[in-house]
Amino acid sequence: MTHQTKFKPQTLMLSQGYDPRLSEGAVIPPVFRTSTFEFKNAQEGKRAFEIAYGLKPASEGEVPALIYSRVNNPNVQIVEERLTAWDGAEACALFSSGMGAISTTCLSLLKPGDGLLFSDPVYGGTEYLFRHVLPAFHIKTYAFPAGSPPDVIAQHLAAHPDVKLVFLETPANPTMTLTDIAATVQAAKAHARADRPIYVAVDNTFLGPIFSHPLRFGADLVLYSATKFIGGHSDLVAGACLGRKELIGPIKALRTILGGMTDADTAWLILRSLGTLQLRMEKQQQHALRVVEALDAHAAVVKVYYPGHPMVGAAQVQLFGRQCRGSGSVVSFTVKGGEAEAFEVLDSLEAFRLAVSLGGIESLAEHPASMTHSDMSAEEKAAAGIGDDLLRLSVGLEDPDDLVADLKQALDRLAR
């Protein structure tokens, strides 16, 4: 990798990992839309496979030849190099979706008989993977409430010596609850044995890579749905996993076999998005702060769930101060009433589109209990704090005056 460490991440988003001299001087990387790559000679082909399949690792400075676009592709590699800059990661694996990144990572680290401990709630698809798919492969999964104090996490680890991976989603989707990464890492280290490490992976989709850096708190891996802020325009689906080379190498090898590689066109779109990632996230956060202010002031709103907001309690506010660099632009809130009232708000919004997903430049609103988290049982939803009165917003780049006015007119209907 060609890290230019003298530059800050925002500068690297426009240059890292790309040499124009290899592409006719093109300032912007072309789309390498090819399924396969020609080797200079048979020896080069042999060496490329040795490296890709982990048979003989690349030596320092050795640049392996490209093979086949399910294994590697220049557009994908440029994105991978650039993404490492924000998190201070050694390596990155890009995937065709966030779920591809999460499932491949779990299957790379866990074998039948191993256990996984996760903060609850997590995104609905992840929840399904943990509660239904992994157990079918004899991987046991255990949940603890997001935001639990360190001793609760330690108790789980003591009670379940099979746990090899602790998975945190912080902030949690959709309750925005933060879980303490540094304390989780400490508990994992305390319960690990020399022959049995306990890894900590963090889904950083909501605040990363600008406002949260889990690797700096000792996490082993950081995961993204790149469909969200990294892509940022609701026009692609992708995912990423970042961490130490020794962990990302096997994850990439499994990606090749399971087939979760992203394509060159999608990678190119992400490259385009990376240049404005910081700008977008900072501006969207400004707009979200205006939205939070409006929600706070409205009589039909019961509670606002937003990282660092006083309503989430002193312990969460303190953790926010230690762990986060910003509160981002996803905001959840409860309204007076239940599903009918929540639906009335959703159906009355005009500037916010009624759609799942988040992190794009357009504002979206959804009802987690009946949409993104509808796979959970009533008991699981109740335990995780996902009520019928809960709404989730992703705040975009529309004029914030319009967003505030739109929310107000929709909420005013409940007051009538």
Ligand X SMILES: Cc1ncc(COP(=O)(O)O)c(C=O)c1O
Residues within the interface to ligand X (CB under 6 A): 97-99, 123, 125-126, 169, 173, 203, 205, 225, 227, 237, 239, 357
Nearer to ligand X by Cβ, of 74 and 125: the residue is: 125
Catalytic residue chosen out of the listed positions 114, 203, 389, 406: 203
Give dist(CA 406, CA 291) in Å, integer: 10
Rounded to the nearest whole angstrom, what is the least distance from the CB of residue 232 to ligand X in the complex? 13
| Shortest Å, Cβ 33 to ligand X | 22
Compare residues 75 and 105 and give the one whose CB is closer to ligand X: 105
The smaller minimum CB distance to ligand X, of residues 95 and 199, is found at 95
Query: Could you say which of 70, 290, 303, 408 is catalytic?
Result: 70
353 is catalytic: no
The minimum distance between CB 368 and ligand X, in angstroms, equals 10
Give yes or no: 203 in active site: yes
Q: Shortest approach of ligand X to residue 147 CB, angstroms? A: 16
- Residue 285 or residue 394: which is nearer to ligand X going by CB? 394
Known catalytic residue: 123?
Answer: yes
- 18, 47, 82, 123: the catalytic one is 123
Nearer to ligand X, 18 or 123 (CB): 123
Name the residue number minimizing CB distance to ligand X. Answer: 98
Least Cβ distance, residue 15 to ligand X (angstroms): 27
**From 47, 82, 164, 228, the catalytic residue:** 228
Residues taking part in catalysis: 70, 123, 203, 228
